[in-house]
Amino acid sequence: MKPDLTTLKQQLAEIADLKAAIAVLEWDQQTFLPSGSEKGRARQIAALSRHLHRAATASELGKTIESLEKYPPEPDTIGFALLRSARRQYDRWVRVPETLAAELSATTAEAYTDWLRAREQRNFQILVPRLEKIVDLKRQYAALFAPEERLYDALLDDYEPGQSAAELDMVFGELRSRLPALIDAIIAAQKSGSDFSDRTFPATAQMQFSRDLVTAMGFDFQHGRLDLTEHPFTTDFGLDDVRITTHIDEHDFLSCVLSCVHECGHALYSLGMDPELNRTPLADGASLGFHESQSRLWENQVARSGAFWRAFLPHLHRYFPGQLADVSARDFLAAINRVQRSEIRIESDEVTYNCHILLRYDIERDLIHGRIHCSDLPELWNEKMREYLHITPANDTRGVLQDVHWPTGAFGYFPTYTIGNLLAAQLWELAHRELPGLDDFIAAGTLSPLREWLRDRVHRHGARYLPGELRQRLFGDARLQTEPFLRYLSERYLPEA
């Protein structure tokens, strides 16, 4: 008997619409919300979260899923993936008490305001009471799905289905053992170059150039926006409304430019999904790691390459003729690929970047397992910064307060950045094998071949496949691989080695 998925799709569409409504409020909170409106916004998000929880745990939805599972769709079909995803989503939602879901939403909304104030005053202790509550709530949440010794796995599973900390420990261990020597070798080999930090790049021109870049990448401004925020992010309210944001420093135009390219990589994933997946749980990336692979590939493999700037550097000169008049293409490329140990994750180069992730992974895993406490974080953060990068942040804002993830409850998110870097390197190798002349296309400013290749190989599937399944389909191996990434770094930064 062929199952009729109509009722299931209708029920899932309501859940998707409620999620989108909450996402609109959260996007507004981080972009345009007046400073005196935080408490009202927290109440609104909590109210919608209660409605979302009721819809996602409704007994009618459970009965629909059970009835369809008696005569499931054929394997490797969208219907099969939809039913599997609905079951996974329902089982996770139904275990979470409505009160816990609402309290977590309200607390993280309030913590975002605390985080902004703590950053402004460079004082982490302002955030501690609310962060302690968030950690406790996330531990309660994780305990619904995993035993005490594997609480962190339950949080990882929200972002990277099927991923375990045990596997990450092995993969990250390989990076810990090989990255330090690679970083030292690259820093020793690089030549001195231009520094643009003493020059002013007006915000309006930065935004205009960034809009030009994301348009060339394929971002559709009829179905999206580019706005300013404190911490850049991408969000979507369905496959026809995708928002990206950036942050501007008038003495560091590359921060804005590369941030926009990064977030556009995320946006292209959503915009490139099969429209049939819209308003279903499949209208998402296979995992956050795969989502990060798209943003990191565009930001690093593409937008830091010589081919890319052969096309776009003349355009950049038109926006900043005075600031860059004395900078050659060679010096410009050396400057944007300069490897140096830095305090800020989102401003770090692609070689040292994963040290920032390893640090955060160590801390948040221990935090969730109760081995450390929130009040200890500034000191512990600085200690690990010295261990991994040999530097000490100037203050809490440039240290433990630089990311919004923990105040928003996103524990288990940070490892997906490194997973994304590993996948991006594999995809880059695969794209060059399957797209002859790829670098020539990029050098001509023609980015559509790469975008369409990614759409066919990754984007259109959405969350139809679990991350391990998609890795198997793409690379013939479901395991996470470090070798392509380390090879890529060596070839780009030590070409004569």
Supply the residues annotated as catalytic: 263
Alpha-carbon distance of 381 to 395, in angstroms, equals: 11
CA-CA distance, 286 to 295, in Å (whole number)? 14
Q: How far is residue 152's CA from residue 292's CA, in Å, rounded to a whole number?
A: 20
Neighbours of 145 (CB within 10 A): 17
Kindly list the distances between the CA atom of residue 45 and the CA atoms of 16, 48, 408, in Å, as whole numbers in the listed order: 15, 5, 13
DSSP state of 124: G
Q: Please check whether residue 379 is in contact with residue 397, taking contact to mean a CB–CB distance below 8 angstroms.
A: no
Alpha helix segments (H runs only) across 235-305 = 253-271, 288-296
Q: How far apart are CA 372 and CA 114, in angstroms?
A: 21
Q: Which residues of 84-107 are buried (b: 16+ CB within 10 A; e: fewer)?
A: bbbbebbebbbebeeeebbbbbbb
Listed residue (271, 264, 197, 191) closest to 462, CA to CA: 271
Residues 402, 345: contact at Cβ < 8 Å? yes
Q: Smallest Cα–Cα separation from 269: which of 302, 299, 293?
A: 293
Helices (H) and strands (E) in the chain, counts: 20, 3
* String of DSSP letters for 218-248: T--TTSEEEEE-SS--EEESSTT-EEEEE--
The burial class, CB within 10 Å (0-12 / 13-18 / 19+), for 150 is middle
Determine the 3-state secondary structure of 360 from DSSP: helix
Rounded Cα gap, residues 101 and 119, in angstroms? 27
Those residues with Cβ within 8 angstroms of residue 88's Cβ, 6 or more apart along the chain or in another chain = 161, 281
**Nearest 5°: phi and psi at 319?**
-80, -35
3-state secondary structure at position 330: helix
Q: Is 271 exposed, middle or buried (0-12, 13-18, 19+ CB in 10 A)?
A: buried
